[in-house]
Structure 1
């Protein structure tokens, strides 16, 4: 078994608590579905948000999901590069798995599809 990283990102239309939490759940559910993972397989989840998303912590949504209460989560601000994508939530999920790197499905939703079309299989 190896530790693999799964990348993901999604954009949010407005800086409000509920849309941020809903987008977080949408992205996580799609990553889980595309990679057939369960919370016990997760080593940790690193979540970043752009500076224009400060209405809530995305980790709150994940903590409320069944079985995710013990998964280590960390939120941080994305590097504020001029001209970068606005209102974006990004994930780096560290997964214990037997899958090879090429079997991992990275997930980019909404406006975040432009970030890494080379990695996205969604």
Structure 2
């Protein structure tokens, strides 16, 4: 067996092991870094989508804007509803949610309600 060939093989194995370690550390750092970016991008995308929904509602004429709103689900995304077309049980559920919010801030809720009724 050839001593030069064995030293070349040994050298290439060492280079391969450092290259492998280097690739492992790079791939680990890529996973670490991209994990945070992927999460923050999805949060930003959800915020952007919600802002677009609000902007589209604000562009509606005043009369239509009074009848439409965004309902936020406990787990799902928000969706636009037309208050005039709600079923009675959905309307009751919406009012219950508003009253529950009003319990937390009665004065603010009543002032907003008064302003809304004055505009109508």
Q: If the length of structure 2 is used for normalisation, what is the TM-score?
A: 0.25
Give 1 or 2: higher helix fraction: 2
Q: Which has the larger radius of gyration?
A: 2
Larger RCO (CA under 8 A, 6+ residues apart)? 1
